[in-house]
Amino acid sequence: MSDNTEHSCATCGKSASLQCGRCKNAWYCNRDCQRSDWKTHRKDCSEGDLDRIVTRAGTLLQDVFLIFAERTYASNVVNVEDKGDELVIIDGPRQPGQYFYAFPKNLVHDESDKKMILCAEMCTEAIGYFHDFLKELLTNKCSCTRRQQCQARAPLTLTKETRVKTWVIDPTGPQFSIFTPVTDRDAYWNKYVEQPIEDYDWGENKRTVSEYPQARGYNGLMGRVSWAAIREVDQALSAWKSKHETTLPKLLREPEGKFVSLRASLLSTIDDGLRAFVARSDYRQDVFAAKREGTLMRLESIRRARTTGPAANGSQDDNPTGATDDMLTRVLQSMDPINIHFL
């Protein structure tokens, strides 16, 4: 029951205070009117209920990703410049052996700026790393059919099996000032997209980020750390479900008050797990190794440039990239002591 008497009964038009407990969109003056309207309301109720579930799922996905991004933040940001229509993030030098850095809360003006920075340069990561999380949230509700890349974003398109409605979930949209994580597909496309660039099958995001740990240098290290953090999230999620004897799909169907309470508990549990993960993790040797590998990669590139044959234009320039002995010296000086031999 609700104390709000400004609604009209969907059946008889009288003042109504009884709200449909499922979709929250229809109002009735009594149970008889509600039962009488069910044949008409059933279809709208199903759509409204699903819309609420998808909205909760997409918002929860963004909430979890933002916690993950903040706790595993790996940039030494020294300044953030507000240019009016853009934020410029200025990184400082990394401290020797340090991987994690505290998010620079003192440099952001509000929550929107914080979200923009946490989502900066993120494309497939949110939906890729949290593929299984989102899949469980929407079990038997929607088919997560496509990921469409457009204008440097990678939103996920969801379609109900009956093709009643299609949504777009864009958890990293804040970097483009899109702060609503779930939007009707047509509205999203009309407002933000000129033309999709690429179209991928559901699951491609996860396959992409699964390859990150195999990359050389610092990129590979970032991939390995991220997946270790995701395992921590999974453990925290399992503990939370066991404690509350619930599931993610059941969470999404809870009444608003209980949903808000359980959601806060879930986010707090994940946050605590990630804080503990960062506190006990020691990646100093990994950072040094990644730096050495990255430097070797640069040396290999310079060596290839120095040994390249005559340029394509017929000149005798055997160094088309301009690599010099001075460049080699600077690269070598940036390395930790290791033995390097040019063959």
Of 64, 74, 117, nearest to 263 by C-alpha is: 64
- The pLDDT assigned to 224 comes to 97
Question: What are 235's two structure tokens?
Answer: 């453990």
- CA 18 to chain CA centroid, nearest Å: 38
Helix (H, G, I), strand (E, B) or coil at 16: strand
Of the chain, the percentage scoring pLDDT greater than 70 comes to: 75
Instruction: Please indicate whether residue 4 or residue 9 has the higher confidence score (pLDDT).
Output: 9
Question: Among positive and negative, which fits the CA dihedral 214, 220, 222, 228?
Answer: positive
234 contact partners, CB below 8 Å, separation of at least 6:
132
CA distance 176 to 1: 40
Inter-residue contact 278 to 293 (CB < 8 Å)? no
- The pLDDT assigned to 299 comes to 79
Both ends of the chain: CA-CA distance in Å?
A: 81
CA distance 18 to 58: 28
Residue 88: pLDDT over 80:
yes
Confidence label for 186 from pLDDT (cuts 50, 70 and 90): confident
Helix (H, G, I), strand (E, B) or coil at 312: coil
Taking residues 6-27, what's their average pLDDT?
A: 80
Using CB atoms within 10 A of its CB, is residue 124 exposed (0-12), middle (13-18) or buried (19+)? buried
Of 117, 257, 256, nearest to 174 by C-alpha is: 117
CA distance 257 to 42: 24
pLDDT tens for each residue of 152-179: 455 665 554 444 578 888 999 998 889 9
Confidence label for 53 from pLDDT (cuts 50, 70 and 90): confident
Taking residues 15-41, what's their average pLDDT?
A: 83
CA distance 169 to 158: 8
146 secondary structure, DSSP code? E
**Mean pLDDT for the chain overall:** 80
CA distance 53 to 137: 9
Of 273, 261, 214, 258, nearest to 64 by C-alpha is: 273
CA distance 284 to 292: 13
Of 37, 38, 225, nearest to 129 by C-alpha is: 225
CA distance 203 to 205: 5
In the chain, what are the domain boundaries? 8-35+44-49
Confidence label for 190 from pLDDT (cuts 50, 70 and 90): confident
- The pLDDT assigned to 43 comes to 64
Question: What are 60's two structure tokens?
Answer: 């929860």
Helix (H, G, I), strand (E, B) or coil at 118: helix
CA distance 239 to 236: 5
- The pLDDT assigned to 122 comes to 86
Q: Which stretches within the chain are classed as H helix?
A: 31-71, 111-118, 125-129, 131-137, 185-192, 204-210, 217-244, 248-252, 256-280, 284-306, 325-333
CA distance 137 to 133: 6
Helix (H) or strand (E) holding 145: strand 143-149
Taking residues 141-160, what's their average pLDDT?
A: 52
Taking residues 237-260, what's their average pLDDT?
A: 93
